[in-house]
Amino acid sequence: MPSVTLTLRWLAATALALLFAGDAAADEVRFRLINGTEFPIRSLVLSPEDLGTWGPNVLGAPSLKPGEAREVAVRGVFVNCNVDLKVVFDINASEPIWQYLNLCSLQQIRLRFDQWSGVTTASYEE
């Protein structure tokens, strides 16, 4: 019986720790994605920082055309707000990744593509 009580206490402590985690955000996070590139964006996926375990497409259909913007809603409970973000283009084979974004404070992210260097960059507002 002592091991059951200890297990229940551990579960309760873990649940409280997750509930009151410093960076925790609940239910839904929203930000504006602006496609300043020349390519339609097919998907936007997130991973906990440095893990490379990409979740489902949070952009939704249809693809985000060049020059367009869309509000992106990410649902769930985030114990840690820091994520890595990856975009997948319809045409361009590159899949750029931005690391250590604070999803809980992100308001807007604008993607740009430099034709000369072939590099996609991002600027964000928190």
In order along its 126 residues, the chain shows pLDDT tens digits of 555 444 434 333 333 233 334 444 457 899 999 999 999 999 999 999 999 999 999 999 999 999 999 999 998 766 678 999 999 999 877 789 999 999 989 999 999 988 788 788 888 877
- Sequence-separated (6 or more) residues with CB below 8 Å from residue 112: 36, 37, 120, 121, 122, 123
Which residues constitute the domain of residue 70? Answer: 23-125
The span from the CA of 115 to the CA of 9, in Å, is: 58
Q: Structural domain tally of the chain?
A: 1
For position 72, which CATH number holds? Answer: 2.60.40.2890
In a domain, 121, yes or no: yes
pTM equals 0.73
In a domain, 90, yes or no: yes
The span from the CA of 74 to the CA of 31, in Å, is: 9
For tokens 């000369």, the residue is 116
In a domain, 100, yes or no: yes
In a domain, 79, yes or no: yes
In a domain, 114, yes or no: yes
